[in-house]
Every structure is written in C-alpha cells, then in structure tokens.
Copies of this chain bind each other. A is one copy, B any other.
Amino acid sequence: MKLTILRGELNDAIQHVSKAVASRTTIPILSGIKLDTDFSGVTLTASDTEISIQSFIPLEVADKIIVSVEKTGSVVLPAKFFIEIIKKLPHEEVHIEVKEQYQTIIKSGSTEIQLVGLDPEEFPILPSVIEDQIISISGTLLRDMIKQTVFSVTTNESTPILTGVLWNLQEGQYKFVATDRHRLASRTAQIETKDVNFSNIVISGKTMNELSKIIPDQDVMVDIVVADNQVLFKLGNVLFYSRMLDGTYPDTSKIIPQSFKTELVLNTKLLNEAIDRAYLLSREEKTNIVRLMTTEDGLIEISSSSSELGKVTEQIVATEMKGEPLKIAFNSKYMLDVLKVIDSEEIFIGFVGAMSPIIIKPQDHNHSLHLILPYRTTN
C-alpha cells in the first residue's frame, strides 16, 4: 500500500471510525484502525465487535483530489497513536507507505513516522447486510428520537434487554421506547417508509449515543438497513453497524395510565429551574427526593429537605390545574432528565395518585411521553 492523502479528510474519517475502537480489549487487533486502499479510494474501519464503523475517502470530492493511490493494499495501525499524530502532522499532504511485515512509514513535511502495523487479515470481517429492508429518516429527527429516549435505559447489566432502546415500525409510525423500570421514555415519528414493518428490535443505549455523535449537524438522510441480528446505518460515506440485543423487550403499554385524577399544565423552563434548585438539596441526601403538592390557593409547591442542610421551598403558578389536590414525591434527577429534552414551552403532567406513575408530555404535540414512578414516602 502506498498513497498520498490530505490530512484534513483523513482526520475526519479517523474521527468517525474512532468511536468504534475498542478501548479496553484483550484482543490487540481491535485497538487498531484498518486501512484498505484500492483504486477508488481508502476505507477506514474500526470495530469493538459490538459496533463497527467504516468511513470511505474517495479519490476526489468536487474536483479536489483527496487521495492519490500508487499501490493498493491493507494494514491495521494502532488507533490511539494514529488518531493523535495525524491531527498534529505539520503538512497538509500525508504520505503513507506499507513495507514488509506491515511496517508503515508516514511522512508529512519533515516528520517521518515508522509504525508497527498489524496483519489486516486478523481484523474482524464486517457482517454482510442484505439491503432489502431500508428505512430513510432525517438525521436530525433520528438524533432527537435518540436524545429523548436513550437516557431512560438502565445501566444495570442484570437486565441486559433494558440497556437498549426498543424500536418499532408499523406503517410509517416509528417508535422508540426506553425504560429502567423506574421511568420510561417513548418517542414516535411519522416517516416516509411505509413498506417496512418490524417490532422488538433493541439496540444498546451506548450504541445509540455513539451513533448520535456521528450524525452531522446539517440535516442529511440516514438510511437504516435491518438484517438478521444487525442494523446498518448509512450516513453518506460512513457506515455504522450495530448488533441487536438478544431477548424480548417487556410489554410496557399496560403501565401507562390513560386517565388522570390530577392534571397540570406548567411552563417547562420555570418547572425545570424550580426542580433544579430543590434537586441541589435533595442530592445531598443521595435520594434526590423532591415533593410536589398543590396548595389551597391554587399554586404548585415544590420542596426538598436535608436533615443536615435544611429545606428548599418553591412556588409555581400553573397555567392549568384540574382535578383532585395532590401530594407526591419523586426522584428529581429523573424529572430533570425529562425536562432537559422535552421540546415544548409548556408541558402536561398527569397524576393518578401518590403511588401511581406520573406522566409528562409536551403540550405542543404528541410525539413524546415520559413516565416516572413516584417514591413511596410516609410524610
């Protein structure tokens, strides 16, 4: 392998695939990035076996020459050092040459690097995904759907299926659900693809977060290909492969109450700030317990207390308040997580009672629904 490549484009591709480099691994080859060069360009691949990312650098982009290939070939280079050194090379032109036994020479300006490369044959082969079930979705929408659900997955490995986000697609209605048994987040969207249907696809929350990071800011369409036990995301020249989680996701539809005894409409920002202040005290007790109650003069009172520090009391005027008086306690961190991602100036909160799930929904639209189980407290 022998080629000349522009540092900026090489660096971009490295940044994309770097998210799939195994950070703690006993398999040395997985801490590397594979370079494959043919006469169409250079393909970079990284894989931690859970996710694999591939980024293709073509010879030219809009008449600008990016890569000149003198000799095709492949090599695996140590990722950590390769990622950092390419960023810091002194010249825009980078020459890469693979010699005997995968020894690799990188030259740029007056810098010369000799790297111990590894045999590309040892690198895991990416799953072949048959592209018969393709969904197209706006990157921005996909990122929103991830953001509004992924924080509710569990980090507890004893229920592996709940570390993932559940996907359903029925007749163009695309739905994400995540729950850790104490809270639940769901987000739906209508998409153009009507002829693909699936259910019980579960993708690891960690993977969804990594995917979210490589979706570009400018809105592009992402093609999603669902195969046997793999999902492939195609973002232009970047391919993102993820394994699906094994197991059956629990049916969560029954735990969502359909009618409420107390209904509130509140300004999202005001509620967020008030709970944030109460949270500051509640976290000193490590429980994050915050109490919410309706007062006789029609206000919402939010409070928390700590035996060591004291007490915080907040009052908010509700935009709307219907139903029975209420006194409830919940994990303020969970509520803040919801308020941070909800994209509506006002929110609806529905209560069935002090021991029943709390439902939080945007007031502007019906795309998302959040559920938090209250704390059972005696006072």
Question: Which residues of A are at the interface with B, using a C-beta cutoff of 8 A?
Answer: 78, 81, 84-85, 88-90, 103-104, 110-116, 273-274, 276-277, 280-281, 284, 308-316
Copies in the complex: 2
Choose among A78, A115, A310 the residue with the greatest number of B CB atoms under 10 Å from its CB: A310
Residues of the B chain whose Cβ atoms lie less than 8 Å from the Cβ of A103: 310
Residues of the B chain whose Cβ atoms lie less than 8 Å from the Cβ of A89: 277
A273 touches B113 (CB 8 A): no
B113 touches A310 (CB 8 A): yes
CA A111 – CA B88 in complex, angstroms? 51
B81 touches A281 (CB 8 A): yes
A310 touches B116 (CB 8 A): yes
A311/B113 contact (C-beta < 8 A), A81-B284, A284-B81 known: yes
Please, could you name 30 A-B residue pairs with CB atoms under 8 Å apart, sorted by A? A78-B308, A78-B309, A81-B284, A81-B309, A85-B277, A85-B280, A85-B312, A88-B273, A88-B276, A88-B277, A89-B277, A90-B273, A90-B274, A104-B310, A110-B314, A110-B316, A111-B274, A111-B277, A111-B313, A111-B314, A112-B313, A112-B314, A113-B310, A113-B311, A113-B313, A114-B312, A115-B309, A115-B310, A116-B308, A116-B309
CA A88 – CA B336 in complex, angstroms? 15
A311 touches B88 (CB 8 A): no
* A278 nearest CB neighbor, chain B only: B111
Closest chain-B Cβ to A279's Cβ sits at a distance in Å of 10
Choose among A104, A113, A284 the residue with the greatest number of B CB atoms under 10 Å from its CB: A113
CA A85 – CA B217 in complex, angstroms? 34
Q: Can you name 10 extra interface pairs (CB under 8 A) apart from A113-B312, A114-B312, A116-B308?
A: A88-B276, A90-B273, A104-B310, A110-B314, A110-B315, A111-B312, A112-B313, A113-B311, A113-B313, A114-B311
Residues of the B chain whose Cβ atoms lie less than 8 Å from the Cβ of A280: 81, 84-85, 88
Residues of the B chain whose Cβ atoms lie less than 8 Å from the Cβ of A308: 78, 116
Residues of the B chain whose Cβ atoms lie less than 8 Å from the Cβ of A78: 308-309
CA A199 – CA B256 in complex, angstroms? 74
* A316 nearest CB neighbor, chain B only: B110
CA A211 – CA B90 in complex, angstroms? 37
CA A342 – CA B188 in complex, angstroms? 56
* A105 nearest CB neighbor, chain B only: B310
- Top 7 closest pairs, chain A to chain B, by CB: A110-B315, A115-B310, A114-B311, A114-B310, A112-B313, A116-B310, A113-B312
* A80 nearest CB neighbor, chain B only: B284
* A276 nearest CB neighbor, chain B only: B88
CA A276 – CA B88 in complex, angstroms? 8
Residues of the B chain whose Cβ atoms lie less than 8 Å from the Cβ of A310: 103-104, 113-116
Closest chain-B Cβ to A333's Cβ sits at a distance in Å of 15
* A84 nearest CB neighbor, chain B only: B280
CA A274 – CA B309 in complex, angstroms? 53
Closest chain-B Cβ to A309's Cβ sits at a distance in Å of 5
* A281 nearest CB neighbor, chain B only: B81
Closest chain-B Cβ to A285's Cβ sits at a distance in Å of 12
Residues of the B chain whose Cβ atoms lie less than 8 Å from the Cβ of A274: 90, 111
Choose among A277, A284, A313, A314 the residue with the greatest number of B CB atoms under 10 Å from its CB: A277
Residues of the B chain whose Cβ atoms lie less than 8 Å from the Cβ of A309: 78, 81, 115-116
Residues of the B chain whose Cβ atoms lie less than 8 Å from the Cβ of A112: 312-314
Closest chain-B Cβ to A5's Cβ sits at a distance in Å of 18
Closest chain-B Cβ to A112's Cβ sits at a distance in Å of 5
Residues of the B chain whose Cβ atoms lie less than 8 Å from the Cβ of A281: 81, 85, 113
Closest chain-B Cβ to A324's Cβ sits at a distance in Å of 23
Residues of the B chain whose Cβ atoms lie less than 8 Å from the Cβ of A284: 81
